[in-house]
Amino acid sequence: MTMHLTSTHRRAGRFPEEKAAGALTPDFDARDEQCRFPPLALLRLQSWLSPAFPTGSYSYSHGIEWAGEAGHVHDRQSLVDWLEADLCHGSGRNEAIFFSEAWRCAIDDDRAKLFEIAELAATYRGTSEFTLESSQQAAACLATLRHVWPDRVLDWLSETLCERHVQPALAVVLGVRAARQGIPACLALPAFLQSYLANLVTAGVRLIPLGQTGGQLAIAELEQAVVAASAQAKNGTIDELGSAAFMVDLASVAHETQYTRLFRS
C-alpha cells in the first residue's frame, strides 16, 4: 500500500490544510476489501512499535527533561518545535537514515554493509546517556524479536555484534526486521519515526505537564514533519548524516548532572 501527499497540502499555523476528502489521498479504492498489504505484516509492525513492546523506552526523555528545566520546552508549541528540529535536522534524522540503510541491506542480503551500518549507528552517539538509551532499548528489542518472531538475519546480526563487542542500535534492528517481514520502507520508516516522536511526546506530557489531548495535538502537528523526514531519509545515504544532533547532545550532557531526574536521559 502506498500513499501520496496531494499538492494542495500547506501548513496553516501548525496543522496541514485538509480538504473534506482528507489530507492523504490513497492510491486504492477504500471500499475494496482486498488489502494489497499483508495484514499479518501490519499487525507485527504495530506490535514492534507499540508502547507495550518491552524496550523500556518510557524511561528516556532524550534530553527533554533538561530542556524543560531550562525553559526551552514549556508548552505544546515549544515541545513541537523541539521535536521537529530533532526529527528534521538532529538525531531523529540520523535514526531515520540508519533505519533506511539497514532496511536496504536486509533487502539486498548485504551482510558486510549491514554490519558497517550497525557499527556506525552504535558509535554515532554523542554522550554516554544516549549510548545507554540506544543500546538498552535495542538489546531488549533484539532479544524479544528473536524469541517471539525468530529470523535468521537477526540471529546473525546479534551473534556478529556480540563477537565484535558492538552494541546494537534500535533503528538498525527494526529496519532489518521490517525488511525481513516484507514491510515496504514507505510504511515502515514513517511508522518508526512516529513511534519515536510519540514516546518523546509522552515524556513531554509528564514533564511540562501537558494533558493527554495536548499530547495528541502535538503528535498530529508533527505528522507532516514525519512524512518529510521519511521521504528524505528513504532516498538518503550515510554520507548525509548530520551534526545538528548537537542540540540534543548538549541537553543530554546537562541532564547527566541535573539535581532531580525522572528519566535516564
pLDDT for position 24? 44
* All structural domains of the chain with their residue ranges: 60-255
**Mean of all residue pLDDT scores within the chain:** 82
pLDDT 10s digits, 64-105? 888 888 898 999 999 999 999 888 888 888 899 999 999 999
Across 159-174, average pLDDT? 97
Coil, strand, or helix at residue 34?
Answer: coil
pLDDT for position 66? 80
Residue-level length of the chain: 265
**204 Cβ neighbours under 8 A, 6+ residues apart:** 64, 68, 73, 79, 210, 215, 218
- Spatial distance between the Cα atoms of 128 and 139, rounded to a whole number of angstroms: 16
Q: Is the pLDDT of residue 9 over 60?
A: no
pLDDT for position 115? 98
Confidence category of residue 227, pLDDT binned at 50, 70, 90: very high
**Helix segments in 57-169, DSSP class H:** 64-69, 76-89, 91-108, 111-123, 128-148, 152-163
Q: Is the pLDDT of residue 49 over 70?
A: yes
Of 117, 192, 111, nearest to 159 (Cα)?
111
The DSSP letter of residue 17 is P
Q: Is the pLDDT of residue 147 over 80?
A: yes
The burial of 9, by beta-carbon neighbours within 10 Å (0-12 exposed, 13-18 middle, 19 or more buried), is given as: middle
Q: Which triple of cell numbers denotes residue 102? A: 539497514
pLDDT for position 18? 43
Q: Which triple of cell numbers denotes residue 73? A: 520546552
pLDDT for position 178? 97
pLDDT for position 57? 83
Superfamily of domain covering 60-255: Urease accessory protein UreF (1.10.4190.10)
Worst-scoring range by mean pLDDT, 107-111, 138-142, 143-147, 252-256?
252-256
90 vs 135, higher pLDDT: 135
Q: Provide, rounded to the nearest whole percent, the portion of the chain with pLDDT above 70.
A: 77
pLDDT for position 255? 47
Across 219-225, average pLDDT? 97
Confidence category of residue 223, pLDDT binned at 50, 70, 90: very high
